[in-house]
Amino acid sequence: MKNEKLKVEIVNFKTSLDYAYNLEQVIEIINTSPADFLLFPEVCLTGFDYENWDEVNNFGEYAVDKLSKINKSFALTLIYKNKNYFCFFDQGLKYKRAKYNLFGNEKEYFEVGEKPEIFEWNNLKIANLICFELRFIDYWQNFRGVDLIFVPARWGKERIEHFKTLNKALALSTQSQVITCNSANEYAYGCSFNAWGKGVEITDKSAIVEIDINENKKIRKKLNIGIK
């Protein structure tokens, strides 16, 4: 990136029962946002609608096609082919990975995906964890020194303090910028923590945060932490 600064919108999104309406809202938010990048909560288009599982999967494939036509950069998770995919769009679908660590009754419906990994975007090292995967700290070691870690989630309200603590600990341990967005259907929460663990927490509405990539690079250089 030229100026090493990135405006990210953490989108406080509540999923309705109408998939098409949800998709329309997501597209409108993306197209009208002044941010460089937007992060939405986990399965924001359909939720975990197990009673209509075939419809959920079919809609996921339809949504990928519609979202791929948008000339913006954003990420969310979508359900299709019986997997929960983290989808990273940048003028088309540039990267996807299906959730590996399934939680509760997800194991009855989803196929296991791939372990979290690092990919590149605009000369930045990017990683992501999907909701429950945040608890598996083995991934943290592999992420040391990446530029950005995205965590879309649908974390239950009764465990939200765990969620907040883990995200800050992830930023501190990896010396990376961690950006998370939790579903408003559970508990509207988002955060952006830098490599010092400093940042903002969002609980009532969407917000745009400005990330200084150079600041995190300076911190990592000072502490001599890099990608293994």
CA dist 189 and 184 (Å) reads 7
Q: pTM here?
A: 0.95
Query: With b meaning 16 or more CB within 10 Å and e meaning fewer, what string describes 105-135?
Result: ebeebbeebeebeeeebeeebbbbbbbbbbe
User: Using one digit for the tens of pLDDT, what is the confidence trace for 130-175?
Assistant: 999 999 999 999 999 899 999 999 999 999 999 999 999 999 999 9
The residue ranking higher by pLDDT, 4 or 16, is 16
Q: What does the pLDDT read at residue 228?
A: 52
User: Using one digit for the tens of pLDDT, what is the confidence trace for 79-108?
Assistant: 999 999 999 999 999 999 999 999 999 999
Q: Which residue matches tokens 């975990």?
A: 48
